[in-house]
Amino acid sequence: MTPVADTGRPADPDGPLVVVLSGPGGAGKGTIARILAAADDSIRLSVSWTSRDRRTDDADDAYVFVDRATFEARRDEGGFIEWNEFLGCYYGTPVPGVDEGQVLLLEIDVAGGRQVMQSDPAALCLFVDAPDDDELRRRLVDRGDGTERADARIVEAARERTEAAGLGYTTVVNADLNRTVREVAALIAARLATKNLR
């Protein structure tokens, strides 16, 4: 089934800087986002909403779990930056409750990033990637993906790289976590400085 999606509502030009972190599983985007948010009070990590059932292995803050009617009401009010329906369940990124001068990090896929770009052309979209497919495979296997699943994710990563490049994402290669966090922080600071000059 092809996901159904909407671009939500246009971004508030006086709102926060929206930073999209996309990339294959195992590239480190979630770790980078958590480190940045923990290190800087002006950076907020968005928590997506979903209508799917909570799984036993879901962290408490993995999603805001709601029923379909609640999700649809929020969507119809323009309460999502981006949303889609996949396998009968809704997923969406809520409109931020963050102030100007702050940063909202969204850890979403490239398709969601496309929607964010449409509603907020000033968004900073970063594609976090592993140095190469062998390293990505190692990371995936180390975190519990079987070899077959890791190989399927490698194929998907190649498709995502191509799509991200076509959309104008900036690629950040995560070979060393500390260096990558500094690089992403510098990219955010540069874009935030430009945004604040307007």
Domain chopping of the chain, boundaries: 4-193
Res 58: pLDDT: 76
Res 84: pLDDT: 85
Q: Indicate the pLDDT class of residue 98, thresholds 50, 70 and 90.
A: low
Res 46: pLDDT: 87
Res 197: pLDDT: 63
Q: Which tokens go with 33?
A: 């986002």
Q: Between 114 and 102, name the one with better pLDDT.
A: 114
95: number of Cβ within 10 Å: 20
Res 40: pLDDT: 92
- What's the pLDDT tens digit per position in 2-59? 333 444 445 556 678 999 999 998 999 989 999 999 999 889 888 889 999 988 877 7
Average pLDDT over residues 113-138: 94
Residue 71 has pLDDT above 50, yes or no: yes
Architecture of the CATH domain 4-193: 3-Layer(aba) Sandwich (3.40)
DSSP string, 67-105: -HHHHHHHHHTT-EEEEEEETTEEEEEEPP---TT-EEE
Q: Indicate the pLDDT class of residue 102, thresholds 50, 70 and 90.
A: confident
Res 9: pLDDT: 47
Task: Write the CA distances from 68 to 53, 71, 109, 166, integer angstroms.
Answer: 11, 5, 22, 33
Give the separation between CA 100 and CA 111, rounded to whole angstroms. 26
Give the separation between CA 190 and CA 126, rounded to whole angstroms. 13
> Which residues, 6 or more positions from 32, have their beta carbon under 8 angstroms from its beta carbon?
21, 128, 174, 177, 180, 181, 184
Give the separation between CA 162 and CA 90, rounded to whole angstroms. 26
